Chains A and B, each alone.
Chain A
């Protein structure tokens, strides 16, 4: 495929199709199938392997995603932080560790969904598609971190201007089109995740129990013998 067509298709066409699908279908799903707006948790069916999937994945992905959003919203401040080698390396090692935690959690979730009969029964094709997309996203992200450091520095210089140009409906592919293929793959797959998002259990992000973060604490009492406390 001609490079110009490839770039136009994946860095102009795909983002708009994905974002449009995201907004349209999240609204449609909320209005027509409101009760499916959930992570459809399987924790009640199995809660041991679940811990090693849920905890590393969520702590990892929230850290990494948070930094990506920060680099998009305040690129100058992130670039300022990374302009001193020691600070840059602290940030990069932290993000690499978070990325590896995400990978551990994601692989654990996939193994659990495949190996545990009860969980396999409640797993749909859409779950496998989004798990595969997320796996590609995490692997390419780790690949970028290893092959093309230091992303926390150049993200603000190389990717943020492109994302801003797309957000302001004036796509500028000058820089993104000359990025290494691993970076391109990571960006393209991110738009695929956004486009497929409304058809998956990822919609729980939009209705996460956010008030849990600031509401008054609730005391939960468990009636059990001390010997069973460790279970």
Chain B
């Protein structure tokens, strides 16, 4: 059966079906905004100044769309090719190269540029960046940050505490988790208050993105104290020394030994063999002390 014959019954309705499948423009715009929020806001703002990456306000006036679409799909390739503007972006971003974003097709890049154009025309874009206080950090902020990090203070939107996957110098006890990196020097790596604040509000890694997608941190109540903690640990310049991990292993090892001892005691009178004890007893009798 040919494709033509297959399509025959719905042929007249095909253009309408295609329009329905494409979805109304409002839904596409919302989709682009969700995509931008999930994938771009940890490094970019629209009209809120540069973070790790440049401010994207009026980006289409700085470079043509074809170049931007190409760059959005494969930033590394453009840099490798020696493109002057791509190299300039890299230098301005302190050598941080934009990662390849999953699902960034040419069509997706086009809708994102349309979104950026529309947002650039607004007096204040919804992507102007995290509104976080500029006041200096206090010792109390650092303590609150540690309480949030360790899970002693619950996150308002129900997100998991940092300690489950990360550690930080001074975590105490058996230390923090190590699925993700040690965050003691993250404040330096993520280039300070503004960039790290944006990152915490909209994390870029798949694991963090999935975890905090519906449980974003509160700007001044949670992100600010965490930033205070990370600034203080970065200033000290030391990472978690893994003493907690060694203590964890030692405790687990002792617990296992205790279990084995318990087995030996509980099943002391267990029936273990028939023939071997008979042979051993007889051998002792026959051989005597020899």
Contact = CB atoms under 8 A, between A and B. Distances in A.
| Interface hub of A84, A97, A175, A178 (most chain B Cβ within 10 A) | A97
A180 B249 contact: no
B251 interface: yes
A154 B164 contact: yes
Interface residues of B, number: 41
A154 B48 CA distance: 34
B245 A149 contact: yes
A85 interface: yes
B151 A229 contact: no
| Interface hub of A98, A151, A157 (most chain B Cβ within 10 A) | A157
A225 B220 CA distance: 77
Contact of B260 (A99, A101, A157, A178): A101
27 contacts: A46-B273, A47-B271, A47-B273, A51-B263, A56-B263, A59-B263, A82-B164, A85-B151, A88-B164, A93-B248, A98-B256, A100-B256, A101-B260, A104-B260, A145-B252, A146-B245, A146-B249, A149-B175, A153-B160, A153-B164, A157-B165, A158-B207, A174-B102, A175-B210, A228-B277, A230-B269, A231-B271
Contacts, number: 126
Contacts of A127: none
For the complex of A and B, list the 8 residue pairs with the smallest distance between their C-beta atoms, beginning with the closest: A96-B252, A153-B164, A97-B255, A100-B256, A231-B277, A97-B256, A174-B206, A150-B177
Interface of B: 102, 150-152, 154, 160-161, 163-165, 173-175, 177-179, 205-207, 210-211, 245, 248-249, 251-253, 255-256, 259-260, 263, 267-273, 276-277
Main secondary structure of the interface of A (DSSP, over half): helix
B143 to A, nearest CB: 16
